[in-house]
Amino acid sequence: MDVVMRAGAGAAGGAAGIGPAGGGGAPGHATGRATAPRRPRVGVVKFASCDGCQLTILDVEDHLLEIAERFEIVEFAEATSRRSSGPFDVLLVEGSIATPEQVVEIARLRAEAKLLVTIGACATAGGIQALRTAAEHEAFRAAVYPVPAYVDSLATARPVSEFVHVDAELRGCPISPEQLLELLISLATGRRPQLPDQAVCLECKRRGIPCVVVARGLPCLGPVTRTGCGAICPAFGRGCYGCFGPREGANTSGYADALVSGAAAGDPNGIGGPGRDPVDVGRLFAGFNGATAPMRSVTDALGGRPIQPLRPTLASPPETLPEGPPRWGAPPEPPAPSTTEDPDGPRR
Amino acid sequence: MVIASPGELATTAPRFLPRDRFDELIAALGEGGRRVVGPTIADGAIVFADLGSAADLPGGWTLQTSPGRARLERLPEGPGEARTFQYTVSGEGIKRFTFPSRVDALSMETADDGTVRVRVEAPADPAPLAIVGARACDLAALAVHDRVLVGGPAVDPDYAARRRDLLIVAVECALASSTCFCASMGTGPEVTTGADLVLNELDDGFVIRAATPAGERVLTTVDDLRPATGDQAEAGAAQTAAARAAMGTAAIPANPRDLLLANLDHPRWDVVAERCIACANCTLACPTCFCTGLEVHSGFDAAASSATRAWDSCFTEGFAQIAGGSFRPRHRDRYRQWLTHKFATWWDQFGTSGCIGCGRCIAWCPVGIDVREELNEIAAAPAAAPPTTALVAPALPQIVAGLDGAPDPLAFSPATVVAVTPETADTTTLRLETADPRILAGTPGQFVMVGVPAFAIPPISISRFQPDGIELTIRAAGAATSFLTRLRKGATLGLRGPLGRGWPVEDARGRDVVIVGGGIGLAPLRPVIDAVLRERDRYEDVRIYLGARTPRDRLFVEEIDALAARDDVLVRVTVDRAGPEWLGRVGIVTQLFKTVRGTGADATAFICGPERMMSATADVLGDLGVPREHMWLTLERHMECGVGLCGHCQLGTRFVCRDGPVFSLAELGDDLRREGL
Amino acid sequence: MPSAQRANAGAAPAGGSLPHEPIPIVDALPPGPRERLLGLLAHREIAPGDTFMHEGDVTKVLSIIVRGRVALRLRVPERGAVTILTLDPGDIVGWSAIVPPYRATTSATALEPTELASFPAEELRAILGSDAEVAAAFLPPILETVAARVAATRDQLLDLFRGAEVDPW
Amino acid sequence: MGHGGDLRFQVENLTRVEGEGSLHLRVRDGVVEEARLEIFEAPRYFEALVVGRTPDEVIDIVARICGICPVAYQMSAVHAFEDLFHVAVHPQVRALRRLLYCAEWIESHALHIYLLHAPDFLGYPSAVELARDHKELVDGGLRLKKAGNHLLAVLGGRPIHPVSVRVGGFSRMPDRAELTALRPSLEEALALSQATVDVVAALRAPSFEREPRLVALKHRSEYPLNDGRIVSSDGVNLRASDWRKAFHEVQVPWSNALQARAGDGLPYLLGPAARVVLAGDQLHPLAQEALTRTGALESIRRNPYRSIVARAVELVHVTAEALDIIDAYAKPDAPAVAYTPRPGTAAWATEAPRGLLFHRYVVGNDGKVAAATIVPPTSQNQAAIEADLATFAPAVLDLPMGEATHRLEQLIRSYDPCISCATHFLDLSVEEAE
């Protein structure tokens, strides 16, 4: 299954203290079952990320208030002004570790958390920002900022598990609300969360979606990607792009071969067709989980990771910024937006 | 058709249905509110879906298939350009309608009085269904499912309900794809059984004949259909014959079963594993694959939960997973399991081939692996001569018409915890009271499925039979078992069983008895000890060798000490490690046999423990002369149904749950080395 | 299996204690070497609880258990002495007597009244070094028992009866 | 908090904003010498990550800049590429893109009004506590939000980082039935939105007024979402692709976000207030009616705390327009049209929930992106926020620390700053004020 447990993890005990499981018996279970202990203290923190995964917590609208009843949310900057630096029974961690400060902070948080759960591709696999390598780092900074001198970040963004022990993980870019709920319910009831590690294809076929590789010649990462999203990409007529990361035992090299020149090489190729440009195939694997070993092994072989970028041509700033804080200028003219048809108006 | 109805074709005069009157046939089929499904074009393929009118059918289209490729294409211009069924197999068979990818399986709830009820779900009379456009291979697949799912010993209630009233309009293929090989499997292209109506499509319409009374009734409701002319009938038969000729009848080696069983270690498995991406598409596109897994759903309030049954696949690691790990960690193991099951062990399990030659696994494999090629490669260089042992088709009941009558092995009965005995830090014995006569009549070595709301349903060996119930000795190895070990007196749960084939205690009558248990493995052996001591004089020497991690991890300590005190039983206990206060033996179990001299030829051994320990024990006992057919061990495999319906626990030709879990070493052969932990 | 076993259930194995118990390894030797080795052999009685070999000491004798049972123990920091293996008649104690640096890798304590047939280390090493015939006959069975013991220890390390980690769930 | 001398004022960790930032003020003798919205969101280098990618890949990647408004990023990108490639999409594709955008606005505005901002006005630390006393209010907000999320899921597979937007159209377009099935929840959402306007209009806003320079898109026939010209309260009127003719980015040492300034280096303000003021005449009649009912147009323009009213008015607009689009929807034969990439510069701006979002891509001869510039709304608003803080802070310096902090945080939150977006990107090096 999906839950990462390392031998002798303090989490075994820790988790036991979380779910009523530890207290013996789940809430709601009648005779012969112990009752739940105090509400678990839950924290939600973020590192380098887009906030989408923690937003997912707010997106389980139907259960949000129930969650707030079952758990004591003591730290969740995006949602509440209440703050806590710990301790936590459960700590949900979003985002990858991308600065020296974050290296220190995640170590501190680990010490405060009984059970540390990484949520989303950034926290579990580094996210797309993890595609940059030490070598590329300087070029990346230069590409984005006129004055890279200010920059002080790690050579590359890394998954949380490279710095501290992770007890469990929710995959996805973003995570699935259903899986988030499954995790929280499991913590509350003491059962094991069902987070299958099999390929997207199983859910795709259960839904009765004809394989887009076979029927349309589209490149699809489903066969090497973990299920959990509900196979939405094939359902929407496109190939999977790997949001949930590698499935168990992903045979990425075998599949990459098939995508380049084998049966999966797409139209009009089929078997023996001209096939695809290896770099195009490589880029397919260089996605939001592209820094994981199974995906990376393909881009190492075929290329496709981000290339040294050109310097973007930013408009040059004025010689000097005004002193002190920005101030509003003189009261502007009354609004004079054009409401008339414009000859060189936008197309369409 | 009713499952029990005879497959033979009734002989009625074929009629001719003009193309523009097909809607009348659909209407006739739909009479009485019957749901009508047929091939439609969706998402770039041809898939079965509800038919509004003939316009929904893929008229003018074909589905070109080759390994790893299936493309919709317009029919070439010409007299046949408007044909409706001018393709071979749909992207997905008709399986979904009789065996949906997800169905409600169980509901588990704790009533207000604290009683746990586990109910098996089955659809309440699903709408009768008519399927238009099934092919010979689809019908053959349906027959295989009938055999597997309602052929006994256990019956899948959901399938039986959906299957009961099914009307099938079959089409005889007018062409063959490069992926088709039904002629080699003896399942087509001619429709010989399973259909109520059979179509042969011509450019201007259809030759249609009734194959059952039900089919004939449908035909008669379509007004004034002219009889088909001899020419029309011949033309239809001719194109089907052409399709057969195009396929040939030797796509795969003869007797694939013996070939595969003799080549389970063939190097070809490693070759195909490099290409196989274990995506499971082949198993999910296969119209006969029937493996399923349970998904448990509950809210924050764990008092109630439900379980759905979903298509599963032997290409996933979790499929063969137990607490200790997966029995098929490599793609090589999984591909071998699948191909071997389809073409070989299916015969041993169900007396039929699991493959019906539709070729879907070839067309819908994203990397284009071709089962025919794999079989022929192995046949070209067989690693070993096929076994001389002829196939013994298992004696299994014939297709059963209904569900009524025999007790349902899937039904749960309530039980109450009347005593809780902590055995070790992580192991507890629950004494359960039950009124279920089936469970009370269980035999040593059998197990029960234990259901409590919100948790997975683990199989647990019965560790003692009581007049009014049973004892279960449970080690907290996972969430469900941890929860069970924390149950208190008075708690109730659902039991299903007794399941499996237990220890053949009678095999030891008049012989020496050797009982070897490791760790929790002593629990399933306890009923054997009880049985032997109950009739001690029917057995010769009785020796019990037990291993545990540490002295603190020993089970049933008082009982075992009491046994050791008897002068008619030899008891030896060893532990992996101990403090100086322990004056007993330290070392692995096999060390206990060193002091045994003489022959074990007259001994019957009952062994239970981790597989590594069991095989080490079997080796040593073998050296001492204990015959392989008298060495019995019990296996732990992933079990969800316990009756051979979910497919997870297969080992070689067996369902461990149904044919085991107790096997003799002779029965297991090399399988344990091939797929052991 | 022989019913001789049946009488003494629960007690020491294989048939009581005769004055001249068989000593398997030695008995199995060809006549020449056996005679030359028997010359070195000395029988010793060990009382229950006596520790006759100490972890780390120079190994003075290589013994074969004739009768009784012996526990091999290791000192484990914070856990004191831990018994890692118990030996029965026919087993060897003190193979380190012929393997450099000739120091005991465990301690050995008798659990029952125990009789040992012992070879003095130095003489044994001398004859094994000088008498190729003796070495060729005597070393293989020694190697065999030591190898068997290594294999068994490996299985113990696997902690077979433990199974998987318990989930946090 | 006393007067006089040096005063270092720090709000360590802004809450109920998307992303990580803090406020830093340096005050001398009651005069704010420095107001810094410090953004220490870690760098993620998106402008570099999209280099070498195809347009469709870029659409998937830039969505990850922000989990709250991924559609906005997909929209600015897809329109920019289609503009460069001269792709004429099916009218229903254009309509459905607006629908997708409406869905995101519903989700984002409901999130901000009910879960992030309303607790400020009513004195609660979060919506959870708010729900204890005003359950029906929060429930309504959650149902509103859910309606938006549900619509997003139907159109794009999931609410966050939807998957269906492609150059030339969509990878799949829904059947009409799928959309009409959403009518009930959207009708409820419309009613909830109208009620929301009255609720937030009644909230007491701290009195604080200034004359902001407002910037937004304006379209001749529709309320600005995907399309329109850049206009400002002081007369700017440009094609959306010409953003750089009037604005530019500057880098300030205390922020990971590049700030944007107008040509004169002065700040300007984007977002609901700017849109309602500059393009109010294009609001859906129902939204106009709601706005008129509040009579808050002028206070929306002058008082940042009143932006919550503008947001509510826009909620009415997007729910109402969503219903209109659904009613007019007919599924086209093909979800997308073919196109040929051509080299050149693709530039476009759309209106994200938080304001104008400008994308610019240099496409090479290989049809892949060679360079990119992304200017999110919050980095454009940052200077405006700092300006407001500098102006507003003296008024609260006499209050107890906690209260002052609350007031200032509330002011910052009123801009719904999306710091995750604003951060393009590099790590903060704090300038120590001596």
The Cα D74–Cα D63 span in angstroms is: 6
Touch A-D: 3+ C-beta pairs under 8 A? yes
Highest mean pLDDT out of A335-339, B178-182, D421-425: B178-182
For residue D24, what are the CA distances in angstroms to B420, D189, D393, D399, D408?
63, 39, 11, 17, 11
Q: Inspect the interface and report whether the beta carbons of A332 and D213 lie closer than 8 Å.
A: yes
B266-295 pLDDT tens trace = 999 999 999 999 999 999 999 999 999 999
Pairing of strands B512-518, B542-548: parallel
pLDDT of C9 over the 50 cut: no
Tens digit of each residue's pLDDT (9 = 90 or more) over A259-318: 998 888 876 444 444 688 899 999 999 999 999 999 999 999 998 877 655 444 444 444
Which chain C residues touch B612 with a CB distance below 8 Å? 155, 158, 160
Contact B613 C155 (CB under 8 A): yes
Give the whole-angstrom CA distance, residue B668 versus residue B675.
11
Q: Does A192 touch chain B (CB under 8 A)?
A: yes
Q: B613 in contact with C at a CB cutoff of 8 Å?
A: yes
For all residues of chain B together, what is the average pLDDT?
A: 90
- Pick from A7, A9, A190: CB nearest C169: A190
Q: What angle do CA D413, D419, D420 make, to 5 degrees?
A: 140
The residues in C 102-141 lying below 8 A from B, measured between CB atoms, are 109, 111
Annotate B18-51 with three-state secondary structure.
EHHHHHHHHHHHHHHHCEEEEEEEECCEEEEEEC
| Residues facing C86 on adjacent strands | C71
Lowest mean pLDDT among B199-208, B568-577, D400-409: D400-409
- pLDDT tens for each residue of D377-424: 888 888 898 888 888 888 887 788 777 777 888 888 888 877 654 443
Residue A80: per-residue pLDDT: 77
B471-511 pLDDT, tens digit per residue, is 999 999 888 999 999 999 999 999 999 999 999 999 999 99
D positions 360-389 inside 8 Å of A (CB): 360, 362, 370-373, 383-384, 386-387, 389
- Given a contact cutoff of 8 angstroms between Cβ atoms, the answer to whether D419 and D21 are in contact is yes
- B368, B65 Cβ separation under 8 angstroms: no
Does A335 sit within 8 Å of D214, measured CB to CB?
A: yes
**pLDDT for position A308:** 52
Residue A83 banded pLDDT, cuts 50, 70, 90? confident
Instruction: Render pLDDT for C79-119 as a digit per residue (tens, 0 to 9).
Output: 788 898 999 888 899 999 999 999 999 999 999 999 999 99
Q: Does A5 touch chain C (CB under 8 A)?
A: yes
Please, are residues A68 and D128 in contact by the beta-carbon 8 Å criterion?
Answer: yes
CA distance linking residue C134 with residue C124, whole number of Å: 10
The residue assigned the tokens 């192995």 is B378
Q: How confident is the model at residue C25 (pLDDT cuts 50, 70, 90)?
A: confident
Are A329 and D264 a contacting pair at CB < 8 A?
yes
The C-alpha torsion from D373 through D378 and D383 to D387, rounded to 10°, is 170
Closest residue in B to A255 (Cα–Cα): B277
8 Å CB contact of A208 and B96: yes
Q: What is the C-alpha to C-alpha distance for residues D248 and B133, in angstroms, rounded to an integer?
A: 65
Residues of A in contact with C169 (CB under 8 A): 3, 15, 19, 21, 186-187, 190-193
CA distance A238 to D335: 12
Q: CA C98, CA C96: separation in Å to the nearest integer?
A: 5
Highest mean pLDDT out of A184-188, B15-19, B673-677: B15-19
pTM of the model: 0.89
> Best-predicted range by mean pLDDT among A250-254, B119-123, D27-31, D204-208?
A250-254
Q: How far apart are CA C8 and CA A292, in angstroms?
A: 63
- Say yes or no for a CB contact (<8 Å) between A191 and C168: no
- Please name the chains neighbouring C, where neighbouring means 3+ C-beta pairs under 8 angstroms: A, B
* Residue C76, min C-alpha distance to chain A (Å): 20
- CA angle, A72 as apex, A70 and A77 as ends, to 5°? 130
Please give the share of chain B, as a percent, with pLDDT higher than 90.
75
Average pLDDT over residues B356-368: 96
User: What's the CA gap between D372 and D359, in Å, rounded?
Assistant: 7
For residues D299-303, give the mean pLDDT: 94
The closest of B442, B563, B549, B561 to B497, measured between CA atoms, is B442
Smallest Cβ distance to C9: which of B476, B540, B570? Answer: B570
Helix axes D307-327, D91-110, angle to 10 degrees: 140
Rounded mean pLDDT of B156-177? 93
State how far the alpha carbon of B399 is from the alpha carbons of B155, B348, B460, B504, B667, in Å: 10, 17, 31, 29, 28
**Residue reference for tokens 């299920």:** A227
Q: What is the 3-state secondary structure (H, E, C) of chain C?
A: CCCHHHHCCCCCCCCCCCCCCCCHHHHCCCHHHHHHHHCCCEEEEECCCCEEECCCCECCEEEEEEECCEEEEEEECCCEEEEEEEECCCCEECHHHHCCCCECCCEEEECCCEEEEEEEHHHHHHHHHHCHHHHHHHHHHHHHHHHHHHHHHHHHHCCCCCCCCCCCC
Q: Which pLDDT score, from 0 to 100, does residue D25 have?
A: 79
Answer whether A7 sits within 8 Å of C168, measured CB to CB: no
- What is the C-alpha separation between A184 and A13, in angstroms, rounded? 17
Q: Identify the CA nearest to A126 among candidates A293, A9, A247, A240.
A: A293
